[in-house]
Structure 1
Amino acid sequence: MDLGLVGGFKYLNKVYRKHPVDIKYVMDNDENAVRIYNENFEHKCQNKDIREIDINEIPEHNILIGGFPCQSFSIIAQNPPRLGFKDERGKLFFEMNKILKLKQPDVFVAENVKGLLSVNNKETFPLVLKHFEESGYHIKYKVLNSSDYLIPQRRERIFIIRSSDLNNFIHFEFPEQLSHEKDEKISLSTALEDNIDEKYYFSEKAVKGMLKAREKMNKGRVQDITKPCNTINAHLAKVTLNGTDPVLKIGERYRRFTPREAARIQSFPEKFKFILSEFQQYKVIGNAVPPVLMWHVVHSILDAINKTKVKRLTMVA
């Protein structure tokens, strides 16, 4: 999330200016995500599990940003099927709540899949809100679609903003859509590369098998490059023509996205470095919060804070 927090990057010829924030502490339990993070940022991320850290080691800060694992809440997750609180990963927000109670930052931002609203017969989300409200926070939430913010991807995520200051809460408004009509959306074609290596194309045998299920493929698997892409995820390295992940048809041939194309679809700038194997790159990219979308959310938060008090802010993510 941190690229969108700090800003200071360029994407599709637009500059997203640097935010007046200092990052004080960053942690992630995904070793590969940590390695990629540390390749790109001066402030280093620690490879730790939130359930095992001493909260007292986290420095004082104004804004806390995090996301509990989306796998247990996702609408499209099939294994295990929408477990919510029954899944240990779904309980990690309790750990985030402990940090809120002890550190009492001015603002807390959480991001998750849209499915959080409806999981467990819509019983989970009210409980999530209740726990955060009990920590003394006013809450606003909204589902944002990346394609509304000049990103070539239809990706719906819920953002939950909590403020301990009622004035900040009153002034805060989620970022306005930048593109409203279909013609204003950024097309997938802006993210595609030329001269693609043969390894990204599906074999003739795989294509023949797919053609037997053409009707299935027409339900959104093959992407229209004149429109935003469907949601990409961490499984892009294992994409098949019979799966649910987006694929491309270029001429008469079908292929998967390259890692750099996936990064562009997620709104990462060209200068952002993705090290490690392609398999791990796909995973980290697919799990990421689009930097441009996060930039707009943070920009709105800072705007609300600046209406009441102007100061340089510190963040923990």
Structure 2
Amino acid sequence: MEKIKVASLFCGCGGMDLGTIGGFSYLGKEYKENPFEIVYAVDNDEYCTKIYNENFVHKCVVKDVRDIKIEEIPQFDMLIGGFPCQSFSISAQNPPRLGYKDERGLLFFEMVKLLKERQPRFFIAENVKGILSANKGKAFPIIIKEFSDAGYTVVHKLLNASEYGVPQKRERVIIIGFRDLEDLLKFHYPMKVGYSERKVLGDVLIEESNYDETLFFSEKAVAGMMAVRAKMNKGRTMSLTEPCNTISAHLAKVSLNSTDPVYMVGDRYRRFSAREAARIQSFPDSFAFDCVSQIRQYKAIGNAVPPVMMWHIANSLTVCLKK
């Protein structure tokens, strides 16, 4: 099967790209290569791109997508991208959710522009659950209409990463566009994996982290959280026997007075190490993050698309490629 060429916008550190191409191992399971190859990747974050370029043969360009000259992009058959979602997120209430009125919310138009110009066979866009209700539910239909007007039949589904072998309850809207109707007719979103294949936090935590004093919260932080815990639902300790709650981009600054997931060792609270966070996101241990500072690692990991979930999505598209 000839490989489908892929252009990746907003690629971050490469979770979506790794899942698309496959060919990696995670928790003892092999995720075989998919018939896709990345021919172009771009992100405006120099630290994410540094991580990306440490891990992929094809290199990512550091650039604002608005500055891309379309003619610079090689020929491609699929466009992928998790367009910036801060403005659509349920948690980004301060300032209130501006959705598509916010400059960052407008970046999906860059995807649309490229689709109109190049007309690739497929596209996959990823975003937070909050996009469905942003602007009192007005933003999402506009986004779908823009993608449709670019010449695509568009489907979308809310997927939970924990149902695809990722040890994290992370809900994301996956929008897929088809230029050709016969491709759409063959396509189904990936089936959830069986319960025996699902992963929990206990599968990925690292014993040594329980002895790393830099990961533990101070007594003062714990006392402050305890004072308001009853009425605030804070100090969200995770169970080893369940998937972790969603991890975010500010993991380095995790607070006990927030909804961030934390872990309890005896009677002490700790945050997750960067490698544990990467495992919670389903990155293989072979994926290198230590070319940037720990704060940058946490941010890149928290913003990423879980590679294992993305592998299932990309793999479900391969049915369209069979003759």
Q: Is this a same-fold pair by TM over 0.5? A: yes
Say if 2:289 is the partner of 1:291.
no
Counterpart of 2:25 in 1: which secondary structure? strand
The corresponding residue for 1:315 is none
**Superposed counterparts of 1:41-80, under 5 Å:** 41-80=56-95
SS state at 1:297 partner: helix
**Are 1:85 and 1:124, in contact at CA under 8 Å, matched by a contact in 2?**
yes
Contact kept, 8 Å, 1:185 with 1:227, in 2: the verdict is: no
Aligned residues: 305
CA distance in 1, matches of 2:232, 2:47: 32
1:314 aligned partner: none
Contact 2:166 2:280 in 1 (8 A): yes
Is the 1:220–1:230 Cα contact (8 Å) retained in structure 2? no
Match of 1:193 in 2: 206
Q: Deviations over 1:36-55 (max 9, x none)?
A: 00000010000011101111
| TM superposition shift of 1:220 | 7.3
Aligned mate of 1:166, from 167, 174, 181 = 181
Distance 1:118 1:214 in 2: 29
- Partner of 2:86, secondary structure, is coil
Match of 1:34 among 49, 56, 64: 49
Q: Distance in 1 between matches of 2:240 and 2:92?
A: 26
2:234–2:257 contact (8 Å) kept in structure 1: no
TM value normalised by structure 2: 0.91
Q: CA deviation at 1:35?
A: 0.3
- Using the TM superposition, give the Cα deviation of residue 211 of structure 1 relative to its aligned residue in structure 2, in angstroms: 1.6
CA contact (8 A) 2:229 2:235 kept: no
Q: What value does the CA root-mean-square deviation take over the aligned residues? A: 1.4
TM-score (normalised: structure 1): 0.93
Q: Determine the C-alpha separation between the residues in 2 that align with 1:56 and 1:176.
A: 38
Secondary structure at the aligned position of 1:105 is classed as: coil
Of 241, 244, 247, which aligns to 1:232?
A: 247
Task: Report the CA distance between 1:30 and its aligned residue.
Answer: 1.1
Q: Distance in 2 between matches of 1:206 and 1:220?
A: 10
Distance (whole Å) between structure 2 residues aligned to residue 78 and residue 247 of structure 1:
22
Distance 1:21 1:298 in 2: 9
5+ residue gaps, structure 1: 310-317
Structure 1 window deviating more from structure 2 (48-57 vs 215-224): it is 215-224
Highest RCO, 1 vs 2 (Cα 8 Å, sep ≥ 6): 1
Tell me the SS of whatever aligns to 2:310.
Answer: helix
Question: What is the letter of the counterpart of residue 288 of structure 1?
Answer: A
Alignment pair present for 1:244 and 2:259: yes
Deviations 1:115-137 (A, max 9, x none): 11110010011101111111110
Does the 8 Å contact 1:140/1:161 carry over to 2?
Answer: yes
**Match of residue 281 from structure 1:** 297
Matched to 1:39, the amino acid is E
Within 5 Å, give how 1:68-217 maps onto structure 2.
68-179=83-194, 185-196=198-209, 197-215=212-230
Cα shift readout 1:56-114 (whole Å, capped 9, x = no counterpart) = 11111111101210100011112322111111000011111110011100001000001
C-alpha separation between the residues in 1 aligned to 2:265 and 2:187? 44
1:21 paired to 2:36? yes
State the one-letter code of the partner of 2:225.
M
Q: Note the residue ranges of structure 2 that are not aligned, 5 or more in a row.
A: 1-15
Which residue identity is paired with 1:228?
P
